[in-house]
Amino acid sequence: MAIRGIIEAPDPYLRTISKPVEGVSDSTRALVADMFETMYAAPGIGLAAIQVGVPERILVIDLQRPDTEAAAEGEEPPVLREPRVFINPEILWESDDVSSYNEGCLSVPELYGDVDRPARVRVKWLDLDGASQEAELDGLMATCFQHEMDHLDGVLFYDHLSKLKRDMIVKKLVKAQKRAA
Ligand SMILES: [Zn+2]
């Protein structure tokens, strides 16, 4: 396993449309392992393959919620790891009710914006054995899944914001990049 570099906006590579995975192979599984390591190290709760420079339709998500049940009294709860992999994910249905979340992105460091998305989605995908899976997602999982799905079509969370807010974020990103150069 290895930590891979995360591409940061406004790098035009993030606008690439990712291609479906043709057959889940050992190299797919190796990439997924690297994606998890990269996501946990960042740290983040979701990552699309395109963010580490691989234009394939693969997402990893782990909300890493605190495990309050496992916590001893008076102690900080340990983080519950629930790694989820979605290969060739598709949204089959989305709810009319909308949920708003202050989203961030590993490719858009330290900048956030409130994005409205369907509160629940029914999705299908391939797992690491290449088997087809289906589930209904809600809450932060639904938000995160839709955010990561967007990456596969070259869409970033700030594309959903008003032009004013979007321009402000892009300006800050360009400034930060100049400082780093
Ligand atoms: Zn993102």
Which pLDDT score, from 0 to 100, does residue 125 have? Answer: 98
> For the chain (length 181 residues), average pLDDT per consecutive 10?
95 98 97 98 97 98 90 85 97 98 96 97 98 98 98 98 96 90 77
Which pLDDT score, from 0 to 100, does residue 68 have? Answer: 83
The single residue of 8, 37, 56, 148 carrying the catalytic annotation is 148
**Centre of ligand 1 from the C-alpha of residue 36, in Å:** 14
> DSSP E strands: which ranges in the chain?
46-48, 58-61, 84-94, 98-105, 108-118, 121-126, 132-137
Q: Which CATH class is domain 12-180?
A: alpha beta
Give residue limits of the domains in the chain.
12-180
> Using the 8-state DSSP alphabet, how is residue 58 labeled?
E
To the query of whether residue 75 is one of the catalytic residues in this protein, the response is: no
Q: CA neighbours within 13 Å on the CB side: how many for 52?
A: 23
**160 is an annotated ligand-binding site residue:** no
Select from 41, 61, 39, 63 the least CA-distant residue to 51.
39
Which pLDDT score, from 0 to 100, does residue 179 have? Answer: 87
Residue 152 Cα distances to 17, 67, 76, 81, 90, angstroms = 6, 31, 36, 24, 11
What long-range pairs does 122-125 form, CB within 8 A, spacing at least 24? 122/91, 122/92, 122/93, 122/94, 123/86, 123/89, 123/90, 123/91, 123/92, 124/89, 124/90, 124/92, 125/86, 125/87, 125/88, 125/89, 125/90
Which pLDDT score, from 0 to 100, does residue 95 have? Answer: 98
Which pLDDT score, from 0 to 100, does residue 75 have? Answer: 85
Residue 125 Cα distances to 31, 52, 89, 122, angstroms = 17, 20, 4, 11
**Centre of ligand 1 from the C-alpha of residue 106, in Å:** 6
